[in-house]
Amino acid sequence: MIPVSRIVSSLRYSLRDMQGLNVSDFELIEAINQASALLYGRLAEKFIHTALKKTLLVVDEDGQTTLPSDFVSVHRVGMGEEGYAVPESYRPDEAGTYRIAGNNFYAPEGSYSFEYYYLPQRVTSLTDRLDVPLSLSPYIEQISAAMLSKDLSTAEQLAQLCCNVQAGGEISHLENTGPVEILGGML
Amino acid sequence: MTQKEMIALVRKLIADEQATGFTEGGNLEEPEGTQELLNYLDRAVDEYSKRQVSKRDVRLQKTMTVSNGRSLPDDFIEFCGAVPLNIDGGVISYYGEASTLPVRYFARLPYVSSYGENSSLPYKHDQEIAITALAAIYALNKHEFNVSQDLMLLGYGVPNANSQQ
């Protein structure tokens, strides 16, 4: 969780507008919301676990419950010691199956450990806290600054870079990754 | 500086210490011309404020508390950045839910005429200089003096295209 005021201060410094003469707090907070939506959308697309959340879904005998409000896409649905449920195209009647349609989760009665990619809740004031790990703070700040400059291309590149880094893809940036061993030999 | 001192300074700048230039229809103790100088000072305050806002002068920045149905402040010039407000006929309302975020705006300096003769004016020294100089230019301009050089010195106006050739 990152305090919004901290991101706003950093953004104002980047924009050289500490006094708020040119950019309002509203604009900054909107840019932060847009940046977190873009970043978490890309993280979910690439199945990066940084954007994962876990919650318990309890399904009553009517066979359905509402999805969390910050839900983007499902990662996996656990059933305790019974393993994981699998998605079903139609209304699931058998144990170990589930279906997601609209804003609802359909499954046989029971409790489910629901892992999903989430979208951070919108922030609206300087005293709010953005539901994002501290490690993503630099990306949120840079993407917000790019958004404020209407530079959507740079914002997109930063989001992709963050995905690569979070996935361990930063190794691909090294020019010399050293000798690669394949089947005991050297290339 | 008081209002009286500021008017005296304008008179010095226009070489009218004896109040002979702006006394039409009045007497020396209470000349009608003083009101005219006050008008020039107010006009100078207006122009100076707009100039400084275009330069993003932080001293003209103010914060207001916004509620739906409130009128824009009299000294309002423009908002600092974009704010989620709709202004209709000078009346403010929020787009959607009311926000707790501060709303900053650039404000005009208070008019000289809104103070009493012996009241202290709230201007900084550089503001006093610029406002009185500008008011003096307005006064001189009335008497058809060439004020282009005065405006240039004050940073108001552009060089004559012919003089640059």
pLDDT of the residue at B56:
93
The structure's pTM equals 0.76
Write down the residue that tokens 């590149």 correspond to.
A157
* Among B128, B116, B97, CA closest to B9: B128
Q: Sorting pLDDT into bands at 50, 70 and 90, what band is B25?
A: very low
Q: In chain A, which residue's Cα lies nearest the Cα of B100?
A: A125
pLDDT digits (tens, 9 = 90+) for A43-85: 888 888 888 889 998 998 888 899 998 898 899 899 878 788 8
The mean predicted confidence, pLDDT, of chain B is 85
Res A145 pLDDT > 90: yes
Which of A68-72, B18-22, B140-144 is predicted most confidently?
A68-72
Phi, psi of B124 (to 5 degrees): -80, 165
pLDDT of the residue at B115:
92
Spatial separation of the C-alpha atoms in residues B84 and A24, rounded to whole Å? 10
Phi, psi of A94 (to 5 degrees): -85, 150
Question: Are β-strands A2-3 and A129-130 bridged in parallel, bridged antiparallel, or unpaired?
Answer: antiparallel
Across the interface, of B58, B82, B100, the residue whose CB is closest to A27 is: B82
pLDDT of the residue at A88:
84
- Please give the full DSSP string across B85-139, using - where no structure is assigned: EEEETTEEEESSS---S-EEEEEPPPPGGGS-TTSBP---HHHHHHHHHHHHHHH
pLDDT of the residue at B152:
77
Across the interface, of B61, B84, B101, the residue whose CB is closest to A125 is: B101
* Among B88, B42, B165, B79, CA closest to A25: B79
pLDDT digits (tens, 9 = 90+) for B107-117: 999 999 999 88
Average pLDDT score over residue span A104-115? 90
Res A124 pLDDT > 50: yes
Spatial separation of the C-alpha atoms in residues B161 and A179, rounded to whole Å? 70
Residue among B54, B80, B100, B103 with most chain A CBs within 10 A, to mutate: B80
pLDDT of the residue at B110:
96
Q: How far apart are the first and last CA of chain A?
A: 45
pLDDT of the residue at B61:
95
pLDDT of the residue at B154:
77
pLDDT of the residue at B24:
47
Average pLDDT score over residue span B13-28? 67
Q: Enumerate long-range contacts of A53-57, CB under 8 Å, 24 or more apart.
A: A53/A115, A53/A116, A53/A117, A53/A118, A54/A113, A54/A114, A54/A115, A54/A116, A55/A114, A55/A116, A56/A111, A56/A112, A56/A113, A56/A114, A57/A105, A57/A107, A57/A111, A57/A112, A57/A114
Residue among A17, A25, A27 with most chain B CBs within 10 A, to mutate: A25
